[in-house]
Structure 1
Amino acid sequence: MVSSASARNPLWHPFADMGAVDGDRLVITRGEGSYVWDDEGKRYFDATASLWYANFGHGREEIAQAVADQLRTLDSYNLFGYNANEPALKLAERVSALAPEPGSKVFFGSGGGDVIDTAVKIARSYFAHTGRPEKVHVIGRVQGYHGTHGFGTAVGGIAANAAGFGPLPGDISHVPYDSAEALEAEILRVGPERVAAFFCEPVIGAGGVLLPPDGYIETVAGICRKHDVLFVADCVIAAFGRLGTWFGIDRWTVKPDMITTAKGITGGTIPLGALIVAPRVAEPFFTGAPGAPVLRHGATYAGHPVACAAGNATLDIYERDGLIPRGRELEKPLADALSGLASHPLVKEVRAGLGFLGAVELKADVVAANPGAANRLQRLARDEGVLVRNLAKGIAVSPPLIAGETELDLLATALPRALDKLA
């Protein structure tokens, strides 16, 4: 299933066993709507929205036009110092207006990893500039995923992702993903006077599509407020309709101190991330007073005009086509489509019902007997015309928000067949 041109190619893939990948690539050549095609012309339902981000599918002419127009007008310029560009100014205003906290500021990056590291640095810098420089400790959750930059790798709670790289940034610890009590105990253990921030995905994505227990989000947000710890909602996956709201975290009545976004902000068309910072956290950096602190941080392509033009066109699509509520409207149909898999002899658990994403976890003895079982299941689903995400212990789906009954029916028939072949 691979063209000879890609065999033994020097391209190094992220998160890949290159000895196995080399010469066995799936070369995607075209995308339209909820489907993509490989270099042999086979069509696949993109049941992962590529990497959780193709929220409105593929091949949107509006994005191509916005990008082309911007390239002809201003192809690039940085945002450092006094510099700005119109697409970045416009997108920042639009994102800020949607934020839970009126008056929030928006700091752009090239993707989710950028804004995660930005959030850690802003959290520590905020306390340093408000007279509490000892508040540097950051708490993450076991199985949490926060990208692969330095701080993100350390704050993330997937052990395999942090192994083999030597010492990572310090003053970071982890708590069970489903226990608010464990969070408060860890804050007290470290000392509230030392803890700067808690990072929380509303629904853990790459760590297994783990849904929060009832009341968890509200409780941890309250614990953070109680101990003056910044509550950082990592909504890189959850935002822009995936959970049926603009940012995902706004399904709950909480007001995070920072919200990380990326992926769906351009539908994945061009790399872009946006960190939303609540007014009280941003305030020390916006006083205009002589000697006011300067955040000496930023990515070369932060607020790139072409990326922001794609972002503005993306928000237009979400608004015009009414796509943001789709994540909530489709959560039950997706859960229903996957529900029949729960009784399969290889399946431990099906997780779905909160947003348009779900996971099928294999039984522990299946994975123990064949550590490559999830990878094999992914390949078998591909043979059935469906692209799913390998999560080591099972597979995940997060279809485009434009998917409908036809695509969910395809999932409901293709995945049982793949599991039967795996068995």
Structure 2
Amino acid sequence: MGTVAVMDAAVTDTSFWHPFAAMGAVRRSEFVVARGEDVWLWDDAGHRYLDATASLWCVNAGHGRAEIADAVAAQMRELATYQTFADVANPPALELTRRLAALAPVPGAKVFLVSGGGEAIDTAAKIAREYFARTGQPERTVLVSRRHAYHGTHGFGTALGGMPANRLAAPFVPDVVQVEWDDPAALEAEFERIGPERVAAFFAEPVIGAGGVLPPPPGYVERVREICTRHGVLFVADSVICGFGRLGDWFGLDRFGVEPDLITFAKGVTSGYVPLGGVVAHERVAAPFFADGAPAFRHGPTYAGHPTACAAALANLDVLENEGLLKRADALEGSLHAAVRSLADHPLVVEARGGTGALAAIELDPQRLAADPALPAAVARAARDRGVLVRPMISAIAVSPPLTMTDEHVELLVDALRGGLDAVS
């Protein structure tokens, strides 16, 4: 009998080690997503759910896009993969980087391609330090980020991240400091404390995403850009979440009118269909790397410029452009903010955030959270039971739907969220 029990456990126990998961709880109770179409997902039992998260902030064009699938299949038949080290290129990588450079809000842009957002952050950090090393300022090594920031879970991203729970047992990177997320004066004071001649770059998301959906105070982005310029510090806009329509434009920066030195991107560039990310560099930053006789920048993943991933991105850009989905985010910006504000009267909710892009959040009562840190997950699970997928965070519930979501879908989202809050209240 003992042998049979072990065999049964092996059959039901998963071999998949999930990211950001308490595997003791997950190992025998996985939620298996089997199919997607537009804003809808179906699990392996055939139940339908409204995807109010766009997976992880990324399925901007919606699920099941035949245009992207067809582009990927055609490219795989032509040339599925090949490396791009040294002088090697492929047509999709050349076309994608040309197109992204033309869309970026920086002059003479150059684009370094990687496999995702975490790699993009590590790449930007290395470029920043190497830029100063190549321009006679090797002492500029310090990288500055913000509290609540999320910059991925790679080496530099973990060090730059402002969410303490993600920094446990971290492989910390030297010369990384943090400042308050919403105070330009704190940034300038930190530059002065360190010595601005030692600072390489300041990393900032236009809207902090995974750290709680925190829109910047009015004038914040413009002010920190000016502070960086005055002190010769590179301003790195982390647009991994905010780009490709999430804030209504290509890189999530147009409304602020700033010109960053580096932009990191991923997620929405392919609507998450194939892993891809990258860094856009201002011509001034790229110059010492592109100069005649300049040594190689000894960095890059195997899949940099992956032709199939680039083909997916090109098809996705066409969808976003041809269907006006970037402007659709403007309409969602208002309706999502109104949706979460309608929940502000609930006893479990202390704040409703939004109004800057197609993403929003409700902050849960800190006293209830102190008594039950799993409260966000419980609310999200209760919303799932009502047919809507939302994103539990450390102290909040976030929504960031595909840009194809309609007002009818927003009503379903509000009903499920309120029901979920009531269920655990």
Tell me which interval the TM-score lies in, with the shorter structure as reference length: over 0.9
- Give how far 1:33 is off: 0.4
Equivalences for 1:124-273 in 2 at 5 Å? 124-165=129-170, 167-273=171-277
| Aligned 1:6-405 pairs, distance under 5 A | 7-165=12-170, 167-288=171-292, 290=293, 292-405=294-407
CA, structure 1 residues 29+6, in 2 after alignment: closer, same or farther (shift >3 Å)? Answer: farther
Aligned partner of residue 325 in structure 2, secondary structure: coil
Deviation of 1:347 after TM superposition, in Å, equals: 0.7
Distance 2:14 2:237 in 1: 39
2:120 match: secondary structure = helix
One-letter amino acid of the structure 2 residue matched with residue 66 of structure 1: A
* Cα-to-partner distance string for 1:249-285 (whole Å, 9 max, x where unaligned): 2221100000000000000000000210000000001
Partner-residue secondary structure (3-state), 1:314 = helix
Aligned to 2:326, the other structure's residue is in SS state coil
**Residue 5 of structure 1: how far off its partner (Å):** 9.8
Helix, strand or coil for the counterpart of 1:343?
Answer: coil
**Equivalent residues of 1:242, 1:324 under 8 A apart:** yes
1:382 & 1:26 partners in 2: Cα distance? 10
Moved more, 321-330 or 350-359: 321-330
Distance 1:231 1:273, change over 3 A: same
User: In the TM superposition, what whole-angstrom CA distance separates every residue of 1:137-169 from its partner, at most 9, and x where no partner exists?
Assistant: 00000000000000010011111101123x511
C-alpha displacement of 1:135: 0.1
1:190-234 superposed Cα distances (whole Å, 9 cap, x missing partner): 101100000000000000001100000000000000000000000
Q: Which whole-Å CA distance do the structure 1 matches of 2:60 and 2:360 have between them?
A: 15
Q: In structure 2, how many angstroms separate the alpha carbons of the residues matched to 1:406 and 1:325?
A: 18
Alpha-carbon distance in 1 for matches of 2:225, 2:295: 27
Distance in 2 between the 1:103 and 1:326 partners?
Answer: 29
* Letter of the 2:159 counterpart: A
Mapped contact 1:85–1:305 kept (Cα < 8 A)? yes
Q: Which amino acid aligns with 1:29?
A: A
Structure 2 distance, partners of 1:158, 1:237, is: 16
CA contact (8 A) 1:137 1:197 kept: yes
Per-residue deviation, residues 16-42 of structure 1 (Å, max 9, x unmatched): 000111111110000000010001100
What is the SS of the residue equivalent to 1:131? coil
Asked whether the 8 Å contact 1:348–1:361 carries over to 2, the reply is yes
Shift of 1:293: 2.8
Runs of 4+ in structure 1 displaced over 3 angstroms?
A: 4-7
- Residue ranges of structure 2 left out of the alignment (5+ in a row): 1-8
SS at match of 2:344: helix
The CA distance in 2 between the partners of 1:355 and 1:218, in whole Å, is: 17
SS at structure 1 position matched to 2:15 = coil
CA distance in 2: counterparts of 1:28 and 1:5, whole angstroms: 22
- CA distance in 2: counterparts of 1:197 and 1:30, whole angstroms: 42
Question: SS at the partner of 2:343?
Answer: helix
Residue 84 of structure 1 aligns with an amino acid whose one-letter code is A
Letter in 2 for 1:171: D
Number of residue equivalences: 417
* Same amino acid, percent of matched pairs: 56
Q: What is the deviation of 1:6?
A: 8.1
Query: In 2, are the aligned partners of 1:6 and 1:23 still within 8 Å (CA)?
Result: no
Task: Classify 1:254/1:5 alpha carbon distance in 2 versus 1 (closer, same or farther; 3 Å).
Answer: farther
1:60 aligned partner, one-letter code? R
CA displacement, residues 309-359 of structure 1 (integer Å, 9 cap, x when unaligned): 000001110111111112222111111122111011111111011100001
TM-score by length of 1: 0.97
Do the aligned residues in 2 keep the contact of 1:284 with 1:293 (CA within 8 Å)?
no
Deviations 1:363-394 (A, max 9, x none): 10010111111110110010010101110212
Distance (whole Å) between structure 1 residues aligned to residue 52 and residue 279 of structure 2 = 27
How far apart in 2 are the matches of 1:322 and 1:406?
Answer: 19
> What amino acid is the match of 2:303?
Y
TM-score, length-scaled by structure 2:
0.97
Does the 8 Å contact 1:244/1:329 carry over to 2? no
On the 8 A contact 1:144/1:207 being kept in 2, the answer is: yes
